Amino acid sequence: MKPVTLTTLREMKQRGEKIACLTAYDASFAAALDAAGVDLIMVGDSLGMVVQGHDSTLPVTLADMIYHTRCVRRGSQRAFIVTDLPFMSYASSAQALGNAARLMQEGGAHMVKLEGGAWLADTVHELTQRGMPVCAHLGLLPQSVHQLGGYRVQGRDVSSAQTLLSDARALEQAGAGLLVLECVPDTLAQQITQALKLPVIGIGAGAHCDGQVLVLHDVLGLTPKPPKFSKNFLHDAADIPSAARAYVSAVKAGEFPAPEHSFQ
Ligand code: KIV
């Protein structure tokens, strides 16, 4: 199996092949997702909620992220691995440099992800100049849940939609190699995806993004109140590997997300 790289993902965008991503936090699930053909595994700080039982991602530490990334790396042979820099671990560029280096060197991440807009452009530039690839994350930013006043769809009015588009452009310009767009209206996600050369991975951002990501526990029906944009793929599958394969084929075929998983 040829490992997926950032170049692979860029080429997939260019030829219009959808990128299938899921989160994973340990070696067994990473191996199952890898075998199912998942292109990109996110070691998300969502682990704070689905693994550690917290009510937000804020308590997750850098040590937690390093530990779970190491586990995922051991299980995965093919997928590109993107790990979240946790809450307040990239408040300054200097802090981001040291912490991203640890995620890559000690954890084995291929890329780091950080949440926020144009204010992060200098940090993204500094990281990428030093060989640390960056995935930006815009729209609903779970680490800013208290600032945002809850888990809500973002970019619904003209001014916030324009800010999201200009943030996306600024982060690409600064060197970001991927963008996660979370909980934004379908048409805005389409506009941002078309405006950028980098691959855009949506979660609750409609069908027009270059790829899709979901939290593994939502896909496996383990979340008591799953978000509208997710789907339980285990419901119609015989086992977890079949559910992961069904997710990959639905994303590749453009069948997921359907209109009922998207926001207008
Ligand atoms: O924390 C996470 O798992 C994430 C992805 C779902 C985008 O940020």
Looking at residues 89-118, what average pLDDT do you find? Answer: 98
| pLDDT tens-place string over residues 51-95 | 999 999 999 999 999 999 999 999 999 999 999 999 999 999 999
pLDDT at 1 over 90: no
Q: What is the mean pLDDT of residues 23-31?
A: 98
Task: Show the DSSP H helices in 51-109 as ranges.
Answer: 62-75, 93-102
Output the six-digit token pair for 255: 């069948």
Distance CA 105, CA 109 (A): 8
**Cα 143 to Cα 110: distance, rounded to the nearest angstrom:** 22
Looking at residue 237, the DSSP 8-state letter turns out to be S
| pLDDT band (50, 70, 90) for residue 139 | very high
Which are the contacts of 237, defined by CB distance < 8 A and separation ≥ 6?
243, 245, 246
How many Cα neighbours within 13 Å face the side chain of 36?
27
Measured CA to CA in angstroms, residue 16 lies from 34, 120, 200 at distances of 21, 29, 12
User: Does residue 4 line the site of ligand 1, with CB under 6 A?
Assistant: no
- Tell me the C-alpha distance between 215 and 222, whole Å: 10
Place of tokens 């799953």: 226
Q: What is the mean pLDDT of residues 26-30?
A: 98
Q: Is the pLDDT of residue 181 over 90?
A: yes
- Residues linked to residue 20 through DSSP beta bridges, in sequence order: 212
Residue whose CA is closest, atom 5 of ligand 1? 44
DSSP class of residue 261 equals G
CA distances, 248 to each of 12, 54, 151, 178, 181 (Å): 14, 29, 26, 19, 19
The answer on pLDDT for 179 being more than 90 is: yes
Mean pLDDT of 121-127: 98
Confidence of residue 11 (pLDDT cuts 50, 70, 90): very high
**Centroid of ligand 1 to alpha carbon of 42 (angstroms):** 7
Q: How many percent of the chain have pLDDT more than 70?
A: 100
C-alpha of residue 74 to centroid of ligand 1, in Å: 20
pLDDT at 111: 99
pLDDT in tens, 182-241: 999 999 999 999 999 999 999 999 999 999 999 999 999 999 999 999 999 999 999 999
- Residue whose CA is closest, atom 3 of ligand 1? 44
Q: Is the CB of 42 under 6 A from ligand 1?
A: yes
Mutate to test the pocket of ligand 1, among 213, 216, 229, 247 (most ligand atoms within 8 A of CB): 213
